[in-house]
Structure 1
Amino acid sequence: MAEINVTPFVDVMLVLLIIFMVTAPLLASGVPVDLPDSRANPIDQQPDQVTISIDPTGTIFIGNERVETGGLPDALAAIDRGQAGNEPVIVLRGDRTLQYARVMAVMGELNRAGFSSISLVTNSSQSAP
């Protein structure tokens, strides 16, 4: 009588599940940014959100694509706006070592391009400032 032993199959599937659970958060953001800490409540991710990252050197990335110096207005104009009245949420990730003026300059360009829904991403913190 031939029987299929499923124990090795289950073991392999559990190992693959653990590997994917560990690597999935690393794939979500390809630009290495040391985020500041905050006690803000987490927000839900949306499928049509656009991630803009500013690395420690001040280089701007839209998604994983580097934006050339002075090319942010053109890059923002190329973003798909979707349906009327349903613009994408902009998620801004800025390194903690950046000057405030650099982040505000990017936010000013976002506002100038017509994006009014901007979320700032931080790490969660347990202690009050």
Structure 2
Amino acid sequence: MPAPNRRPGARRRTINEINMVPFIDVMLVLLIIFMVSAPLMSPGVVDLPSVGQAQRQPDHLIEVIIENAERVRVRLDGQGQGERVALKGLAGQVEALQGGSRHTPVVIAADKGVAYEVVVKAMDTLQRAGVQRVGLAVRTTGT
């Protein structure tokens, strides 16, 4: 005998729902596994690059000392205080000091208080001007 509220021959409608209980059980098991195993793992060692010594010092070296976002000093072979120029005129001043040789290395030095963006702008300016060798000055620790 069919159910009183159902028509004869009518199918029962399925309910489309996701059962969350097994999902929650799996998540709790994974949480417990990670909580137990996390203290047992040793942290990875990061292998940072080190600064090496050049085999031979270059004949001429141009230093670009970044003072702030708009002013830099440029000097040749570490002599004197260097000539102050605006960041816009940096490429022209470096090209003049290179004397036609684009292979003269240029080292950029900046205080840690100078924004990283300014250093990147200086590097970009020099590379767009065709300077072949641009590097960053670093302070080495005593070895």
TM bracket, shorter-chain basis? 0.5 to 0.7
C-alpha separation in 2, matches of 1:69 and 1:90:
15
- The answer on 1:48 being equivalent to 2:64 is no
Whether 1:87 and 2:103 are equivalent positions in the alignment is yes
Deviations 1:52-83 (A, max 9, x none): 1112x34211101111353223323323133x
Q: Structure 1 regions of 5+ residues with no counterpart?
A: 1-37
Taking structure 2 as the reference length, the TM-score comes to 0.51
Structure 2: which 5+ residue stretches go unaligned?
1-48, 76-81
1:70 aligns with 2:88: yes
Distance change in 2, residues 1:41/1:88 (3 Å): same
TM-score, normalised to structure 1, is: 0.56
Provide the secondary structure at the position in 1 that maps to 2:88: coil
If asked which structure has higher relative contact order (CA below 8 Å, sep 6+), I would say 1
Tell me the CA shift for residue 121 of structure 1. 0.9
**Aligned-pair Cα RMSD in Å:** 2.2
Q: 1:53 to 1:45 in 2, by over 3 A?
A: farther
**Aligned pairs, number:** 85
Percentage of identical aligned residues: 21
